[in-house]
Every structure is written in structure tokens, then in C-alpha cells.
């Protein structure tokens, strides 16, 4: 009997390690398959336009050695940080206020819903007229891309806080500022974080597009510059790969925040 009881336990421990490695092995395996398929397609078609994975890797190394890659990545991240930070500073309190005060929500929500569907790229001519060609115009476009998802997420998060939570806080005599800080914000935080992650992804998309027309540095500028200066498609695809990798890292970082103990209860994660 003792042997049968201990046997499955040891078997479960043996099967536990692959389970822990699975989230890492599956994406790496899929990436390897994609790279092999990419290489085989380039070889089979004999194309001289679209580069192979080896050529793209060499281009990334060459950009890094010249110091261009690090500088352009830093410029893009700096612009995203500036625009996204401003959107966070304005959109989060504005959305919470719209969710907390119904009259304010009814007054401002139509304006938000009218502006929200407008693509930030449609604002490029306006941004250039107001701010000129440079980083400020790009940061403004990123701000427009991020502020509305953040505002809507904060507003809906506050509105969806169960009334019993708010009533319990009031029964304990909490004033309005303490009630918002200690009850409403923690309860709304899981939904707010989802909006923040979506806004960050949109901001990264917009900075790449805006850099193609409004600045002379950054990964988006690298795509257009490599295309126009000698049709260096290996550099074009290298910039695209870096854009995708950085976007993945940003999304993973946002997901790590969702797993922190204060907000983990709001997400069904293991």
C-alpha cells in the first residue's frame, strides 16, 4: 500500500518540470519553426528582395556595432515614455472622476467617445502644424493614442466596483478621498491595468508610424530611411524584428504587473 501511494507522488514530481518549462519551450519552438520556414521560402523562391533570417541577423549586428540600433531604440522608447506618461497622468484621474461622478461622466463621455475612434495618425498634419517636425509632435500623437483607452478603462473600472464595497467603506466613516484611495481604486485596479496594457500596445504602434514622417530618428524612421537609401530591405526587416521584439517585451512587462500580489486576485492566473 505504501509503495502504491508513494509511486504516483514521485511520478507527479517528474511530470512537474516539463509543465514549468512549457510556457518557455512552446514559444521558442514556434519561433524556430517560423525561422526555418522563412529561410526555406527565401531559398525556394530565389528572391533577391526579401532577406533571409541570416541576412537580417547580420544587419542587426551591423546596426548595433555602429551604435545606431541602441540610439534609435532609446529614442523610440523615450517618446513612448513621454506620451504614455502624460496620458497616464491625465487619463487615469479623469476616468476615475467620470466613473465616480455620474454627472461628469454624462457630460464628458460623449466627447471621449467622439474623439476615441479617430486614428492618432489622422492627427499627424495637425501635430506638425502645432509642434513642428520633432519629438514633441510624436509624443503628442502617442498621448492621443493612449489617453482615451486609459480614460475609458478607468471610468468603467470605477463604475463596476460593487456597491457593497463602497457602502462598507462609508459605514466605516471613510471620507471621499480615503474611500477612493483605499476601496474604489484597489477594486477597479484589475480592469484599469487591462486598459493600461492595451494603451501601451497602441502607443508603441503609433510611435513607429509617427516616426516615419515626423522625426529623423527611431525605429520607424529606420524603416523608411533604409527603404529610401538604397532599398536595404535587410535593414528594413531588421527594424521590423526589433519593433516586434520590443513590443513583446513591453507586453510581458505589463502582464507581470498584473501578477503582482495586490492585483493578482482580479486575474485568474495560477
Average confidence score pLDDT of the chain: 83
Residue 175 φ/ψ region, left for φ over 0, alpha for ψ in the -120 to 50 degree band, beta for the rest? beta
This prediction has a pTM of 0.80
Reduce the DSSP state of residue 51 to 3 states and report it.
Answer: coil
**Under a CB-based contact definition with an 8 Å cutoff, are residues 59 and 51 in contact?**
yes
pLDDT of 10 > 70? The answer is: no
The pLDDT assigned to 13 comes to 47
**Tens digits of residue pLDDT in 128-177:** 888 888 888 888 999 999 999 999 999 999 988 888 888 888 888 888 88
- Determine how many CB atoms are found less than 10 A away from the CB of residue 246: 17
Rg (alpha carbons) of the chain, rounded to whole number: 24
The pLDDT assigned to 261 comes to 67
- Residue 266 has φ and ψ, to the nearest 5°, of -80, -10
Cα dihedral sign, 137-117-81-228: negative
Q: What is the CATH number of domain 55-264?
A: 1.10.3720.10
The pLDDT assigned to 209 comes to 84
- Residue 70 has φ and ψ, to the nearest 5°, of -60, -40
**Tens digits of residue pLDDT in 254-263:** 888 777 666 6
The pLDDT assigned to 220 comes to 87
Distance of CA 140 to the CA centre of its chain: 17
Q: Half-sphere exposure of 226 toward its Cβ, with a 13 Å CA cutoff?
A: 22
The pLDDT assigned to 87 comes to 95
- In the structure, what pLDDT confidence band is assigned to residue 265 with cuts at 50, 70 and 90? low
The pLDDT assigned to 89 comes to 95
**Tens digits of residue pLDDT in 12-65:** 444 444 567 777 778 888 888 988 998 888 888 887 788 888 988 999 999 898
Q: Tell me the average pLDDT across 186-212.
A: 88
Share of the chain above pLDDT 70, in %: 88
- Determine how many CB atoms are found less than 10 A away from the CB of residue 28: 10
Query: Measuring CA to CA, which residue among 189, 194, 206 is closest to residue 265?
Result: 189
- In the structure, what pLDDT confidence band is assigned to residue 190 with cuts at 50, 70 and 90? confident
Reduce the DSSP state of residue 209 to 3 states and report it.
Answer: helix
Amino acid at each position: 500500500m505504501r509503495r502504491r501511494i508513494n509511486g504516483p507522488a514521485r511520478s507527479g514530481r517528474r511530470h512537474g518540470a516539463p509543465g514549468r518549462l512549457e510556457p518557455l519551450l512552446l514559444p521558442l519552438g514556434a519561433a524556430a519553426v517560423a525561422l526555418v520556414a522563412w529561410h526555406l521560402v527565401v531559398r525556394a523562391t530565389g528572391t533577391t528582395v526579401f532577406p533571409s533570417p541570416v541576412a537580417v541577423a547580420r544587419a542587426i549586428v551591423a546596426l548595433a556595432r555602429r551604435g545606431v540600433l541602441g540610439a534609435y531604440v532609446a529614442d523610440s522608447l523615450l517618446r513612448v515614455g513621454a506620451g504614455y506618461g502624460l496620458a497616464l497622468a491625465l487619463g487615469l484621474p479623469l476616468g476615475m472622476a467620470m466613473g465616480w461622478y455620474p454627472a461628469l461622466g454624462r457630460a464628458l463621455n460623449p466627447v471621449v467617445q467622439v474623439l476615441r475612434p479617430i486614428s492618432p495618425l489622422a492627427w499627424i498634419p495637425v501635430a506638425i502644424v502645432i509642434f513642428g517636425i520633432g519629438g514633441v509632435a510624436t509624443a503628442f500623437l502617442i498621448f492621443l493614442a493612449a489617453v482615451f483607452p486609459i480614460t475609458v478603462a478607468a471610468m468603467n473600472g470605477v463604475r463596476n466596483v460593487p456597491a457593497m464595497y463602497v457602502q462598507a467603506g462609508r459605514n466605516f466613516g471613510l471620507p471621499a478621498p480615503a474611500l477612493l484611495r483605499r476601496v474604489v481604486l484597489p477594486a477597479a485596479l484589475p480592469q484599469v491595468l487591462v486598459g493600461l496594457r492595451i494603451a501601451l500596445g497602441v502607443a508603441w504602434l503609433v510611435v513607429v508610424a509617427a516616426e516615419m514622417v515626423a522625426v529623423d530618428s527611431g525605429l520607424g524612421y529606420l524603416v523608411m530611411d533604409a527603404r529610401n537609401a538604397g532599398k536595404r530591405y535587410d535593414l528594413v526587416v531588421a527594424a521590423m524584428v526589433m519593433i516586434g521584439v520590443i513590443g513583446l517585451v513591453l507586453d510581458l512587462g505589463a502582464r507581470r504587473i498584473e501578477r503582482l500580489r495586490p492585483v493578482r486576485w482580479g486575474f485568474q492566473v495560477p
